Amino acid sequence: MIIREKQNPIITKEQIKPTAENLVVVGVFNCGAVKYRDEIILLLRVAEAIANQNSEVIQIPIADRKIKNGYSIKEIAKDYHKYDFNDSRFIYKLDGKRQIENLTSISHFRLARSKDGVNFIVDQVPTIFPETVYEEWGIEDPRITHLEGSYYITYTAVSKYGVCVGLIKTDDFIQFQRLGIIFSPENKDTVLFPEQINGKYYAYHRPVPTEIGYPDIWLSSSTDLLHWGEHEHILSVATNDWSQQRIGAGAPPIKTKAGWLNIYHGADNDGKYYLSSFLTSLDDPGRIIKIANKPLLTPTEDYERIGFYPNVVFTCGAIMENDMIDIYYGAADDKIAKASISLDDLLSLHD
């Protein structure tokens, strides 16, 4: 039985200090999670928009390398013949093929610490801020993997060039080193395995093709974490009712007696997001042992159903200790919640 934390949501946007006075925090969600020393560390995705918008134009923050932790502002006229403003997350162009003109907000990462995994103290300033040309529209959905003594953060880098996957390394959560783009567009939802398997590093990732194929989960290997290959298709959308539209890896794989435990998300045809899981062979992450035949978590609570983007539960990190798994997840794209389940109960969803 999965049990939601009774203090849910455990982190809300009201707790986050905006990066600058002209910004408003529109969401804190999709966080990486790891145990570091005697604390639980969450790396939060914080989305900000320009505060006090007037009615004539929409102002969009764009990361600007000339300004330390700062944004320049792009203005888009509210021209309903030219743009579609119906999605809270994106502004679509109406000419020709459906292209996104801009996001409505921009995300950076903020560190939060806790002794009990429920009450978190959130840093007052950005921990990792968009910096490169591939991050001008923001950095999103960090996953943290503890690997060979260091912590590796895989994240979504968004810019006019597309949606791709970046890698950052840290040993102490104070200094962070960018290691470049590891998957070219269009790709996201990348999780690194916490150890080498048969002498290679592995990752699941989720490319998005256009007219042939679907947003499925793929496996890749690496010998240095920077260069990836031997790409292999692993899991298709629409293998069940809660994954008709899209799927993607969620928390980095957790090693269990039954195999690598992979908590992933699926979205149904209504765009409602669920969490579920699949197991892969400990010595071959390309071999699926079992896929859960029911969802692990469905958006049923108000904080999961109502928000910046409704009906979403989306995880980037889960921590297993003593066979109990704590799942930290973004709820309705604007708050962070937590749910816990025993390993045995989770594995029983696969029967």
Binding window for a second copy (CB under 8 A); candidates: 36-44, 147-155, 211-219, 322-330: 211-219
Residue 303 sits in the site that holds a second copy (CB under 8 A): no
User: What minimum distance in Å lies between the beta carbon of 239 and a second copy?
Assistant: 14
Return the range that interacts with a second copy (CB under 8 A); candidates 75-83, 116-124, 220-228, 338-346: 220-228
Q: How far is the CB of 122 from a second copy (least distance, A)?
A: 29
Cβ closest to a second copy, residue 244 vs residue 256: 244
Assess contact for 184 and 163: CB atoms under 8 A. no
Which residues does 152 contact at the CB level (< 8 Å), separation at least 6?
144, 145, 167, 168, 169, 192, 225
Whether the link from the prior residue into 186 is cis, omega within 30° of 0, is yes
Question: Contact 347/258 with Cβ under 8 angstroms?
Answer: yes
- Residues in the interface with a second copy (CB under 8 A) total 46
183 binds a second copy (CB under 8 A): yes
Interface map 81-110 toward a second copy (x if CB under 8 A) = ---------x-x-----xxx----------
Segment contacting a second copy by CB under 8 A, of 50-58, 61-69, 223-231, 321-329? 223-231
State the Cα torsion 228-232-237-242 to the nearest 10°. Answer: -70
Q: Decide: helix, strand or coil at residue 312.
A: coil
CA distance 18 to 311: 25
Angle, vertex CA 309, rays to CA 19 and CA 14, nearest 5? 35
Closest CA to 208 of 189, 228, 180: 189
CB pairs under 8 A, 24+ apart, for 65-72?
A: 65/131, 65/132, 69/19, 69/20, 69/125, 69/126, 69/129, 70/19, 70/20, 71/19, 71/20, 71/23, 71/106
- Binding mask of the shown chain, residues 110 to 149, with x at each position contacting a second copy by CB under 8 A: -----------------------xx--x------------
CB of 329 to a second copy, least distance (A): 25
| Listed ranges 40-48, 113-121, 175-183, 296-304: which one lies at the site for a second copy (CB under 8 A) | 175-183
Distance CA 209, CA 216 (A): 9
Comparing CB distances to a second copy, the nearer of 42 and 165 is 165
Q: Does 199 bind a second copy (CB under 8 A)?
A: no
Q: How far is the CB of 164 from a second copy (least distance, A)?
A: 7
Choose which of 12, 222, 240, 342 interacts with a second copy (CB under 8 A). 222
Radius of gyration of the chain (CA): 19
Ranges within 12-51 binding a second copy (CB under 8 A): none
Nearer to a second copy, 117 or 248 (CB): 248
Q: Which stretches of the chain bind a second copy, using CB under 8 A? A: 90, 92, 98-100, 133-134, 137, 158-164, 180-187, 205, 207-213, 216, 218, 220-224, 226-233
